[in-house]
Structure 1
Amino acid sequence: MRQTLLLNLSIIFLGSTSFGQSTPCSELFISEYIEGWSNNKAIEIYNPTNDVVDLTDYRLERYSNGSNSALDNQKVELSGTLQPNSVVVVVLDKQDPDGVDFEAPVWDELAEAADLWVCPVYEENNAMYFNGNDAMVLRKISTNTPIDIFGKIGEDPGETGWAGMTQNHTLIRKTSVTYGDIDALNDYLVVDEWDGILWSSDSLSYSLDSVFLNLGSHTCECGTTDINEIEHVVNVKVYPNPISDDVIWVTSESEIREVVIYNLAGQKINHKFINGFQVAEISMGATISGLYIMEVVLETGARTTRRIVLK
């Protein structure tokens, strides 16, 4: 069964998908993803190059609920140009202040950051109606190749999305990421490339400032956007790393809500609630030696990840 699935996916993407690693800082990639309440949905795209890029050569595609392909009305072409080391914010076009339910307008803070409004009518084009369990692809039209893939093509991760982080979250690409994910078949390890902010229903930990803080700018090792430069720093320390025994400590200037540890397959192997303390002791127990991803969630809703090595 697994061989058949891989064969089918290979046929679908043959001639249109590259596998392997892109050249750093050479092509556009998705720098921020917002899947918020109601119609608050946006994708920010970053230009890490030194050239002005014609956006008409690019489109976004939605692979719905584990689908292996995107229908014509799930593809939306972009427009305009994008300056070097700058971003374009693509937002679901819901602007009617009197709209309700499925036509409810996006919030003012998101509207103010929008550069491109797309997909106003669902029946005509629903590329931007993603719900956390849809893979999104940024494709270059002239070469018919995906240059960044968010999620895993052909996989439905369930209602809460990949690693429980792609629904009701703002995700910001880590500064160390300098090119898009172009492997359609790899397991999607969200915590490896993204920092997340939860759209919390708890009014004490939820604020518009946090979920929209970085929108409209991006910082990475290729350079920083020259518009509204903002660096959102989550100050978390993890030690010792590598770990020689079964205990690792986490400290933060902010209150810590919880710490989650994943293996490289994206499986949760440890989860501890910290309840607002700024220091946490995490026992690795009988965990097998190897490389793991630690996600630290603060009481503000901000999330950050660290690679940890258990000897």
Structure 2
Amino acid sequence: MKKTILFLFSFILSQNPISDAGSDQVVQLGVQVQLDGSASYDTDGAISSYSWTSNSGIALTGSDTATPSFTAPNETSSLSFTLEVTDNNGNISPSNSTSDIFISEYHDGGSPNQYLEIFNGTDSAIDLTGYELWILKSESDMSWEPIYSTEDEEWETDFWVLIFNSDTSMTNINSYLQLDGDYMQRVDPGLLNPNESLMIIREGEGEDFNFIGQNYVVWDRLVKISGDEPVALFKNGQIIDKIGDDEDVSSSGWDVGEGTTKDHTLIRRSTVVSGNIDWESSALSEWNVFDRDTFNDIFNHNCTSCDNEVIVYVSSPPLASPSYVSDDLLLDSNGDICDTQVTLDASPSITETGNISYQWVDTNDLIDEADLNRKQPSFSTIGVAAGTYEFGLVVFDGLLESTEEIVSITIGDNLCPLASSSVVLQSDESWLEQYPSLVYFESENFTDEGNGVWNEGEVFYDIGDF
């Protein structure tokens, strides 16, 4: 009798580990620098070895550890390092671990600050044709496959769809929808480049964050986001990422991280490399939660695990050099400023990169807030008490920030006399608008005699005496 022995083999496909070389760094010349690959991970095992490579000819100490170090050169430079990790199954991390776009930020903020952000962490530009964003109305019968009642001529579930680069939806809803109607709108962002974010904002005017010159589209249906409406990212009719569940939810939204989706800013953690259709696991470990109207990271998602490279920028910090414009500035006999306006000046500031932005620090509240980042902001001395005022200046060159430097401005007891059609002058801390022939200095009257001559009683003063 012949016996048959049956062998059963079970194969489990082992996943590649994820290399995380850490965030890019900006350091000063000659300092000791440490790289950090400790956030690398393996979803079905453990990291067994690290291998760092310098792409800039820099010698690394501990290149086979998670945290190697080196000494920065004494010249401005941009240094590149890559990290390859191996797991306990012998699998090696790829150079890029991201295969598609995903939702990187969700913001249920004050009106009209609602927004979504999607991010391309791959190494190639992605044509957004075929991608869609959906919002479902929070109700008991929510569904990502809404049913249209031909009898009632209405949808059984309220939803809103944003379609990229196309006139038609890739889902089963298209035949009942009209483009640019209440339910479905189209935008045309074209391609989303590698390491680039696309912001979907509500109005494109009135938002409390700066979007001018950034990569964004406008979708007015974001008004529907209030923390308890689920959002999904579709590709070719299939969900590839989502926030919230298509189940009934309380008015406080879903629990996520250390907060909720209601009245919060959600930012995807830098170690997340793909979307997740399992909201329960996503909410547990993939999001950092901040107060509403937190705009620190918009347009600039940081995905350290998306690729295996880290850049270290070596530079010397810029030098802030605040002063004020002295040309034609009126001074009194003590050398104090008696002009009606003073213009500060950041022009002497120095930067290695050629890029520079300014931030004035005014604890006196003399400069308009909108002017604090100008190179030469001005302020009026009218009504300002005599004394010395300090103004701080910090400059940023795109890499490093300077230390704060101070310029002092001394305002005199009185304004210089001006012969004009109408002047405003000080008298006993009150302000009067007078004809140019009468000028008040403290409590003394001076009368214009013409030709630059001023009279106090029987004593004549030339305007140069002031």
Please report the TM-score for the alignment, with normalisation by the length of structure 1: 0.50
1:235-250 alignment runs, 5 A limit: none
1:85-100 alignment runs, 5 A limit: 85-95=195-205
CA 1:188–1:73 in structure 2 vs 1: closer, same or farther (change >3 Å)? same
Question: CA-atom RMSD, angstroms?
Answer: 3.0
| Residue in structure 1 matching 2:264, options 153, 169, 172 | 169
- 2-structure distance, mates of 1:158, 1:73: 18
Q: Paired residue for 1:251?
A: none
The structure with the larger Rg is 2
Q: Is this contact kept in 1: 2:229–2:244, CA < 8 A?
A: yes
Equivalent position amino acid for 1:212 in 2: F
- 1-structure distance, mates of 2:282, 2:125: 31
Q: Is this contact kept in 1: 2:276–2:282, CA < 8 A?
A: no
1:81-160 alignment runs, 5 A limit: 81-95=191-205, 105-107=206-208, 109-112=209-212, 115-120=215-220, 126=221, 129-140=224-235, 143-160=236-253
Percent of residue pairs bearing the same amino acid type: 27
Whether 1:49 and 2:152 are equivalent positions in the alignment is no
CA 1:116–1:128 in structure 2 vs 1: closer, same or farther (change >3 Å)? farther
Equivalent position amino acid for 1:63 in 2: L
Q: Is this contact kept in 1: 2:123–2:194, CA < 8 A?
A: yes
CA 1:136–1:110 in structure 2 vs 1: closer, same or farther (change >3 Å)? farther
- 1-structure distance, mates of 2:231, 2:308: 24
Residue-by-residue CA offset, 1:150-198 (whole Å, 9 max, x unaligned): 1112232423443442122111101111110123xx5365241101111
CA 1:195–1:165 in structure 2 vs 1: closer, same or farther (change >3 Å)? same
- 2-structure distance, mates of 1:144, 1:46: 19
CA 1:223–1:115 in structure 2 vs 1: closer, same or farther (change >3 Å)? same
Q: Is this contact kept in 1: 2:115–2:222, CA < 8 A?
A: no
1:30 to partner: Cα distance: 0.6
- 2-structure distance, mates of 1:82, 1:158: 34
Q: Is this contact kept in 2: 1:132–1:168, CA < 8 A?
A: yes
CA 1:62–1:147 in structure 2 vs 1: closer, same or farther (change >3 Å)? same
Whether 1:26 and 2:126 are equivalent positions in the alignment is no
Q: Paired residue for 1:179?
A: 274
Equivalent position amino acid for 2:199 in 1: V
- 2-structure distance, mates of 1:217, 1:223: 16
Whether 1:68 and 2:143 are equivalent positions in the alignment is yes
Residue-by-residue CA offset, 1:259-290 (whole Å, 9 max, x unaligned): xxxxxxxxxxxxxxxxxxxxxxxxxxxxxxxx
CA 1:194–1:139 in structure 2 vs 1: closer, same or farther (change >3 Å)? same
Q: Which has the higher helix share?
A: 1
- 1-structure distance, mates of 2:108, 2:98: 26
Structure 1 residues not aligned, in runs of 5+:
1-22, 96-104, 121-125, 200-207, 230-311
- 2-structure distance, mates of 1:225, 1:43: 27
Residue-by-residue CA offset, 1:46-101 (whole Å, 9 max, x unaligned): 11111111123211100121422366860011322110121111111252xxxxxx
Please report the TM-score for the alignment, with normalisation by the length of structure 2: 0.34
Secondary structure of the structure 1 residue equivalent to 2:246: coil
| Residue in structure 1 matching 2:113, options 40, 46, 59 | 40
Q: Paired residue for 2:301?
A: 218
Structure 2 residues not aligned, in runs of 5+:
1-95, 147-156, 165-187, 314-466
Secondary structure of the structure 1 residue equivalent to 2:232: strand
1:112 to partner: Cα distance: 3.6
Q: Paired residue for 2:179?
A: none
1:276-295 alignment runs, 5 A limit: none
Q: Is this contact kept in 1: 2:263–2:291, CA < 8 A?
A: yes
- 2-structure distance, mates of 1:53, 1:173: 20
1:149 to partner: Cα distance: 0.9
CA 1:145–1:51 in structure 2 vs 1: closer, same or farther (change >3 Å)? same
Q: Is this contact kept in 1: 2:102–2:233, CA < 8 A?
A: yes
Q: Is this contact kept in 2: 1:133–1:162, CA < 8 A?
A: no
Q: Is this contact kept in 1: 2:137–2:159, CA < 8 A?
A: no
Equivalent position amino acid for 1:50 in 2: D
Q: Is this contact kept in 1: 2:138–2:229, CA < 8 A?
A: yes
Equivalent position amino acid for 2:133 in 1: L
Q: Is this contact kept in 2: 1:39–1:94, CA < 8 A?
A: no
- 2-structure distance, mates of 1:84, 1:52: 5
- Deviates further, 52-61 or 160-169: 160-169
1:113 to partner: Cα distance: 7.3
Q: Is this contact kept in 1: 2:252–2:260, CA < 8 A?
A: no
CA 1:212–1:129 in structure 2 vs 1: closer, same or farther (change >3 Å)? same
CA 1:63–1:114 in structure 2 vs 1: closer, same or farther (change >3 Å)? farther
CA 1:156–1:39 in structure 2 vs 1: closer, same or farther (change >3 Å)? same
CA 1:57–1:225 in structure 2 vs 1: closer, same or farther (change >3 Å)? farther
1:225 to partner: Cα distance: 12
Equivalent position amino acid for 1:156 in 2: V
Secondary structure of the structure 2 residue equivalent to 1:111: coil
Count residues in correspondence: 176
